[in-house]
Structure 1
Amino acid sequence: MFVGRRILIVGGGLAGSRTCEALRAEGFDGEIEMLCSEGTPPYDRPPLSKVALTERRDTTFDVDYDALGVDLRLGVRATGMDRDRRVVFTDSGEHPYDALVVATGAAPVILPGSGRQHVLRTAADADVLRAALRPGTRLTLVGAGWINAEIATTAHDLGCSVTVLESAPAPLHQPLGPDVAHRMLPWWEHVDMRCGVSVAEVTEAGPVLADGSLVESDLVVTGIGVRPDVAWLVGSGLDIDRGVVVDERLRTADPAVFAVGDVAARWSPRYRSRIVGQHWDDARTAPATIAAALLRPDRGLVFDPVPYFWSDQFGHKIQFVGHRDPSDRIVFREGGDGRWAAAWIDDSSRLTAHLSVDSPRHMVQARMAIDRGAVVDPDAIGDLDAPVHTMSLHSS
């Protein structure tokens, strides 16, 4: 049972904000301090690559930090920590803690070069892009992942000339695999999609490819992935491996330190592997586990949900649930009216992941089946109109 009186949260995103609420909901009446590197209170980020590119939206969370008794520090960036002294160093001084929650999120990866590269991670980034996306703008997107797919959708609708440079054979090749990626490739027909190309650097005139050719651009947005924001933890002694390593209760090896959200590399008993979520749903739901681990350890609450994320692109809503392994078998589910989905099944015929296209109902069915460890009939699941529960052989 936690007997300290001061909890420090480093990071001002969804995970940090929800941690404040979860701690109070669990009955903690001590001090809570939250450090936000941005100069604005925590806000919702998914709209940044959607409606925020066409109109200014205030997505600040409706949280009264004063009423919660949270000392909210804006514009304060962590620079290091001393676990022996239980203190976090920042650009504005030292901040002590009895328990520490690391929620610093992730930072975009950028390419070499002296040319200006834009990214989309903050509200300020969205403001810059919104002002620049005008009819005729020569926009080059480096990377064809989730965020750039959404930017490409909006930019095309706004009349921009969109070029996409992707090193893989197809968009979303890495997260979804080649079969699904190639099936989605026709969605990109209205943009200049160039797959199998590598960018050597970004110059003032635009990206230069590995073969030396220049892609002249008015605006370059780099979207080739993110890395957990852990530079400030170098020398802390915490275990870092694709993020801050934590167990299924989001605890590090130091009992006073937790990690949550994009920065956490959590152990999943369900998948018997370490998962770096980096999606909104993890940040939204995980803080309750931290609050319970600190204040009600007798409950034994663990955080091991079925992963979920969504994307809106080229007129389609994509919803992915589960965690696929490259060795899993993929089965395409076909509907009678051109609708389709994809299911991944392991060597025990257990449903491990599911991609739904324009069909929230199928996503919900699949999520429930994965949650209960359903073993399915690989032949029957190919029929999109058959509910998943009717083809389950049994649950493990």
Structure 2
Amino acid sequence: MPAPTTFVIAGGGLAAAKTAEGLRTEGFNGRVVLVGQETHLPYERPPLSKEYLQGRSDREKIFVHDASWYRAHDIELRSGISVTGIDRAAHQVTLSDGDRLGYDKLLLATGATPRRLTVPGADRDGVLYLRTVDDCERIKATLSTARRIAIIGGGWIGLEVAAAARAAGVEVSVLEAERQPLLRVLGFEVSAVFADLHRSHGVDLRLGVQVREVTDAGVRLADGSAVDADAVLVGIGATPNTDLAAAAGLTVDNGVQVGADLRTSDPDIFAAGDIANAYHPLLGAHIRVEHWANALNQPAVAARAMLGRDAAYDLLPFFYTDQYDLGMEYTGYTPPGHNDDVVIRGDLATREFIAFWLNDGRVTAGMNVNIWDVTDQIKALIHAAAPADRTRLADPAIPLDQI
């Protein structure tokens, strides 16, 4: 009897779980093996810096599926184990427990790792990072006892943790090297909204500063000043986990390079989620974004492609944040540092507005802040790929679907 067709998924997060789900949804009845380094069931990461961190959601809600789902769908979970090598010629992977596992198709969903701080004292026990649920538990415990924390980095993770800390009554200093938090993502005008938001909630926001050292009393800056803190959280970005792919000789360039069908340079290996630098048919370029929506939606495309069916991932990038009383959704893509051409519809001061980013007069991205049910209209403006009337775009009296 021939061996069953085996699909191996390297990774234990949302993208991995959704790929397994997608394969079963598409009718694949062969063997599916999910190899995840963490000992937990696959879970979603956004709650770790939002509602779960703040204690507004139960732990069980972060998991993609419960254990019974994997049993019912005959998904083999190899938890606490990682894929350490790929033998493309033999169609085998080596596991961290020494086992070798054959595959017919392989999906890489190995995610990303937080960038480490490289200054004296950065390896102290009180220095925290946020990526895993265990990291989140350590931060929650810290927020229950700390008087003051210092957050190095004013990106999405840093600001969301700052909001959670303030909700817990902890004093917060955010230390950011740029002139504004989120500057490269949003540009100066819109990033100022987030700076004002955090200052209005009592955050000590220090901009244009460099960290020189982490001490037992907090952080020392390059100008010699000290920031007192009981704990330090580092949020300075993440690096895609591409070592496995690179060692196997796959094309790696700002992630694992894949086509719109999420296929790598090896026809039997695919990639999804944070590591995938995927060709986007609408944008006409490869892009890699570390957004929850990619990990959620790319796997269905990968599953179809793994089964030899026509498939292309063409959804626009999407992400969201909740900080204090500000809720935001961002749709589309503007390369970091190319966000100066922006049209504002609404009032920045009251934090109720839509920001549109343009390139050659065309809308490439839109962000709605405390305004809801407009994502479809923003998508339509981006898909139109035609110059937009800036005056009409900025006028709240004109419905978006009439621009």
Shorter-chain TM band: over 0.9
Distance in 2 between residues matched to 1:135 and 1:235, nearest whole Å? 43
Letter of the 1:14 partner, please give it: L
Structure 1: unaligned runs, 5 residues or longer: 392-396
What residue number does 1:317 align with? 327
Matches within 5 A, 1:118-157: 118-134=128-144, 137-157=147-167
* Greater Cα shift, 350-359 or 229-238: 229-238
- Is the counterpart of residue 288 in structure 1 residue 300 in structure 2? yes
Q: 1:295 to 1:234 in 2, by over 3 A?
A: closer
Worse-matched range after superposition: 262-271 or 87-96: 87-96
1:344 matched to 2:357? yes
Map 1:385-396 to 2 at 5 A.
385-391=397-403
**Alignment counterpart, residue 59 of structure 2, candidates 57, 63, 73:** 57
Alpha-carbon distance change, 386 to 366 in structure 1, aligned in 2, over 3 angstroms:
same
> Which residue of structure 1 lines up, in the alignment, with residue 392 of structure 2?
380
The answer to whether the 8 A contact 2:162-2:172 is kept is: yes
- Work out whether 1:264 is the aligned partner of 2:273: no
> Is 1:278 matched up with 2:290?
yes
Distance 1:17 1:97, change over 3 A: same
Which residue in 1 is equivalent to 2:258? Answer: 246
The aligned amino acid for 1:11 is G
1:248-295 superposed Cα distances (whole Å, 9 cap, x missing partner) = 110011001000001111111211221112111111111111122122
- 1:346-388 CA deviation, whole Å, 9 max, x = no partner? 21x3211001101122333212322343542111101134222
1:169 aligned to which of 170, 179, 190: 179
Gaps of 5+ in 2: none
Pair 336,185 (structure 1): closer, same or farther in 2 beyond 3 Å: closer
Alpha-carbon shift at residue 82 of structure 1 (Å): 1.9
Structure 1 residue 327 displacement after superposition: 6.3
Count of residues in correspondence between the two structures: 386
Hey, what does 1:30 align to over in structure 2? 30
Q: For 1:209-240, what per-residue CA distance to the aligned partner results, in whole angstroms no more than 9, with x for missing partners? A: 22343323211110111111122334210111
- Paired-residue identity, %: 36
* Superposed counterparts of 1:77-226, under 5 Å: 77-93=82-98, 94-112=100-118, 113-116=122-125, 117-134=127-144, 137-189=147-199, 190-226=202-238
CA, structure 1 residues 308+52, in 2 after alignment: closer, same or farther (shift >3 Å)?
same
TM-score by length of 2: 0.91
**2:150–2:174 CA contact under 8 A, matched in 1:** yes
Residue 394 of structure 1: aligned partner: none
Kindly state the Cα deviation for residue 296 of structure 1 after the two structures are TM-superposed.
4.2
Correspondence for 1:39: 39
TM superposition shift of 1:96: 2.0
Structure 1 residues 136 and 65, CA gap change in structure 2 (3 angstroms): closer
Moved more, 38-47 or 323-332: 323-332
Note if contact 1:102-1:258 (Cα within 8 Å) is conserved in structure 2: yes
Counterpart Cα distance in 2 of 1:170 and 1:287: 35
Matches of 1:363 and 1:315 in 2, distance apart? 20
| Partner Cα separation in structure 1 for residue 160 and residue 348 of structure 2 | 28
1:233 to 1:204, Cα distance in 2 relative to 1, 3 A: farther
Q: CA RMSD in A?
A: 2.0
Residue 114 of structure 1 and its aligned partner are, at CA, apart by 3.1
Cα distance between partner residues in 2 of 1:17 and 1:322: 25
TM-score between both structures, scaled by the size of structure 1:
0.92
